[in-house]
Structure 1
């Protein structure tokens, strides 16, 4: 189910937003990158043996602390519930770490190690009056970064897992719960720009905390076409406005931190093009999903539930993309990053 050469070329040519360039930023080389450290929500979360089941790689809001040995003993779990996509997600495809079924030690990944602090269901801000936590154990992005600053970074550096922070790419992909929750809580007729502005202002305050640890290479991903989902709570103009405000803040961060590398990947453009030309990717259904997606034998016997194979669906459920969709845009992201070698 490979994309046609024509469409693949079109994606590679126009899907990626070019980062701001300046003469002072350090050289980023994807081929020499040793670790990917990720923050975000369910689109980025991977299950860990030391994580909260179905939510995280390590810890939760009820117990976010850990010893370096706990992190190094943690293993990526790859099975139907190891991500929110029914299979490997974009960070796993991008790094080739944790893609195979079973357990994977991130330090054993030959290409790039994957250390994931994303939490399924996370918003950016933990504020009950703004975007309430989905669960009492949820680690909002604020708490993910706090966990990383207090425990993750010390663990990775003290054990020499991260030997050189210039060989690390930090990825932030969040906002899906923010935009959906703000819409549901306030209605579509609300004035959303100030709310999105608050989200992005806080996100880049958190990015600055990671920058202050010595990391210099950052990847930001915008919102996918949530407006084209099976049961959208947002429209295209809301998604575009959110993404525009994200870009403004990412550009501003680059201008303020001239020694940083700020990479912006337009996943929204990639996936809109995939939706428009879905048959070239082997998709048969891009408007609905298999209602039995969470059944334990759905991957081996989808016909039992009246479904086609899951890789023929663009959407895994009402709010998530299938593993196949993640594989497609991760491939295009990989091409984008290989331009920095």
Structure 2
């Protein structure tokens, strides 16, 4: 499906404002990237055979530790509940790893996918700020801690990651943060200082990953949550959150001139899709199939009075369908190729 000219122009403008400074020797090159390491929430989570069911690829807050062998025998599970989208999500489409139904070893993928995202995660673990959704939830703080203590040592000691310049590290977080903050404080609160706290902490965590030797980073901003089936936030809140994210990402780039800082404006892309949804094959962009979690929904949606799931933009009240992920990932791949050097 061809991308909208408006989307292409907006992405070009956004990309031009985020220069990178990595030396040519270790320059980012998406076609030659060997691994994608991902952190985030349910938009990025994938199910693993060693993960908490419906929440993670490996471990949880109650049992975060794992051995190198534990990580390497873990398998990506692809089925209706293997992601929060009813099918492959963006990290799977981007790497072509774990897209097919069944079990997939990340080590057998041309671009390996190592996913430390946790469904329901906020950035900060602080009961007075954004309480954990569950006692087993790994907030972004704990995801990075798990990676520093167990993930990176496992990938390096087994020679799975041979050159960190061949790795792209992705962060997509904030969906739970923005929703939980408004639910806890009401829509009339002053949110900018709260969003500042979220982003300051996120980039403290990014620096921890940078200090391990990783140099290529991808940040994805908030999608148009204000256009969801039952939004708790409005467009100005989302825009403010995204502006503060961009300010911190730009600042991180200036402070770490040997890093590649890539900022993908998924908000612009998905607003463009919503505005021209029929061109993308969608029939419903305001609601969702209430029977989305029924085991036979994919094979017999008519049984529940629904159209096929890939005709819906939203999978449920808070998540995008797998088809929506596939569409914006196509734009993301073009973006990454356009930013490649070497």
What TM-score comes out, normalization by structure 2 length?
Answer: 0.97
Offset at 1:250?
Answer: 0.1
Match of 1:53?
A: 53
Match of 1:85?
A: 85
Offset at 1:229?
Answer: 0.2
Match of 2:332?
A: 333
Match of 2:296?
A: 297
Name the CA distance, whole Å, in 1 between partners of 2:5 and 2:164.
33
Match of 2:9?
A: 13
Offset at 1:22?
Answer: 3.4
**RMSD, matched Cα:** 1.1
Name the CA distance, whole Å, in 1 between partners of 2:138 and 2:22.
37
Alpha carbons of 1:10 and 1:155: their partners in 2 closer, same or farther (altered >3 Å)?
A: same
Match of 2:148?
A: 149
* Stretches of 4+ aligned residues off by more than 6 angstroms: none
Name the CA distance, whole Å, in 1 between partners of 2:210 and 2:20.
18
Match of 1:97?
A: 97
The CA deviation string for residues 238-289 of structure 1, in whole angstroms up to 9 with x for no partner, is: 0000000000000000000011000000000000000000000000000000
Offset at 1:20?
Answer: 1.9
Name the CA distance, whole Å, in 2 between partners of 1:102 and 1:68.
23
Answer yes or no: is the 8 Å Cα contact 1:12–1:336 preserved in 2.
no
Answer yes or no: is the 8 Å Cα contact 2:38–2:170 preserved in 1.
yes
How do 1:307-318 and structure 2 match up within 5 A?
Answer: 307-318=306-317
2:48 counterpart SS class: coil
Name the CA distance, whole Å, in 2 between partners of 1:255 and 1:87.
38
Residue 174 of structure 2 corresponds to residue 175 of structure 1: yes
Name the CA distance, whole Å, in 1 between partners of 2:92 and 2:330.
11
Answer yes or no: is the 8 Å Cα contact 2:48–2:77 preserved in 1.
yes
Match of 2:234?
A: 235
Offset at 1:230?
Answer: 0.2
Q: Gaps (5+ residues) in structure 1?
A: none
Offset at 1:27?
Answer: 1.1
Name the CA distance, whole Å, in 2 between partners of 1:89 and 1:82.
9
Match of 1:137?
A: 136
How do 1:239-278 and structure 2 match up within 5 A?
Answer: 239-278=238-277
Residue 30 of structure 2 corresponds to residue 30 of structure 1: yes
Offset at 1:8?
Answer: 3.8
Offset at 1:10?
Answer: 3.8
Answer yes or no: is the 8 Å Cα contact 2:21–2:260 preserved in 1.
no
Q: Gaps (5+ residues) in structure 2?
A: none
Name the CA distance, whole Å, in 1 between partners of 2:290 and 2:168.
36
How do 1:205-220 and structure 2 match up within 5 A?
Answer: 205-220=204-219
Name the CA distance, whole Å, in 1 between partners of 2:95 and 2:5.
22
What TM-score comes out, normalization by structure 1 length?
Answer: 0.97
The CA deviation string for residues 17-72 of structure 1, in whole angstroms up to 9 with x for no partner, is: 31323375741111110000000000000000000000000000000000000000
Offset at 1:9?
Answer: 4.2
Give the number of equivalent residue pairs.
Answer: 336
Answer yes or no: is the 8 Å Cα contact 1:123–1:133 preserved in 2.
yes
Name the CA distance, whole Å, in 2 between partners of 1:13 and 1:100.
33
Match of 2:222?
A: 223
Name the CA distance, whole Å, in 2 between partners of 1:137 and 1:23.
38
1:262 counterpart SS class: strand
